């Protein structure tokens, strides 16, 4: 039995993310020596702007604490992150960006921009804006559903 799932939203969004992610991972490893997962850690910390515990970082990345621990170990060893004992919880560590992480983030953003430009190159400026706006609306709808379910 063969099914065509190529126009189903979930399949399409996940497939685009998978392909985009594989291209990003390959280029990031070649150009800056970091994996996509490591770049996600740096990006998540940069978006938050303040140190996060490993548990909170795992939650935000939708990864296990053990997986995030391994990623952080490698990033600390590479000088991209600083790990310090938490001031409020002696069982926890706070993770923050090391000063040289900014260069890696800039390089990662450039890679992302290049892949995005290529991926959207067949779309007009208006179509790009529409795609972004529509996906943003879908995201908001799904987040609202999550919030309602969390309250129930």
DSSP tally for the chain: helices H, then strands E: 6, 3
* pTM for this model (two decimals): 0.85
User: pLDDT per position in the chain (152 positions), as tens?
Assistant: 888 888 899 999 999 999 999 999 999 999 999 999 999 999 999 999 899 999 999 999 999 999 999 999 999 999 999 999 888 888 888 999 999 999 999 999 999 999 999 999 999 999 999 999 999 999 999 999 988 888 87
- Return d(Cα 55, Cα 9) in angstroms, integer: 31
In a domain, 7, yes or no: no
Give a three-class secondary structure readout of 10-33. HHHHHHHHHHHHHHHHHHHHHHHC
150 and 75 share one domain:
no
Domain hosting 148: range is 122-152
138 and 115 share one domain:
no
How wide is the angle at C-alpha 43 spanned by C-alphas 94 and 91, nearest 5°? Answer: 15
77 and 137 share one domain:
no
């Amino acid at each position: 039995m063969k099914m065509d799932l190529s126009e189903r939203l979930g399949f399409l969004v996940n497939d685009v993310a998978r392909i985009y992610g594989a291209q990003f991972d390959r280029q990031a490893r070649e150009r800056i020596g970091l994996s996509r997962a490591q770049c996600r850690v740096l990006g998540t910390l940069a978006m938050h702007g303040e140190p996060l515990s490993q548990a909170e970082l795992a939650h935000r990345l939708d990864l296990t604490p053990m997986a995030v621990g391994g990623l952080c170990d490698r990033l600390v060893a590479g000088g991209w992150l600083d790990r310090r004992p938490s001031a409020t919880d002696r069982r926890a560590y706070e993770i923050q960006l090391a000063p040289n992480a900014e260069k890696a983030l800039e390089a990662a953003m450039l890679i992302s921009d290049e892949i995005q430009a290529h991926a959207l190159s067949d779309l007009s400026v208006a179509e790009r804006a529409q795609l972004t706006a529509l996906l943003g609306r879908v995201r908001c709808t799904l987040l609202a559903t999550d919030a309602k379910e969390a309250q129930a």
